[in-house]
Amino acid sequence: MSDQRTAPKERPVPPVVVGLAWLWVVIPFGYGLWALLQKIPALFG
């Protein structure tokens, strides 16, 4: 009984939250990367 009271109940984070958190940073980074990649062809043109 006491084990049940004291053991912390595991509440996994929903995968969608993890996905949204990554999107929050990947989207601006992707924008920057896209803008940068557009400049590179001129180097070899």
In angstroms, the CA 27 to CA 39 distance is 19
Q: 37: helix, coil or strand?
A: helix
Q: How far is the CB of 31 from another protein (least distance, A)?
A: 6
Identify which of residues 2 and 9 has a Cβ nearer to another protein in the complex. Answer: 9
* Residues near another protein (CB under 8 A): 8-13, 17-18, 21-22, 24-25, 28-29, 31-33, 35-37, 39-45
Question: Residue 10 is inside which H or E element, if any?
Answer: none
Strand segments (E) across 1-45: none
Q: How far is the CB of 32 from another protein (least distance, A)?
A: 3
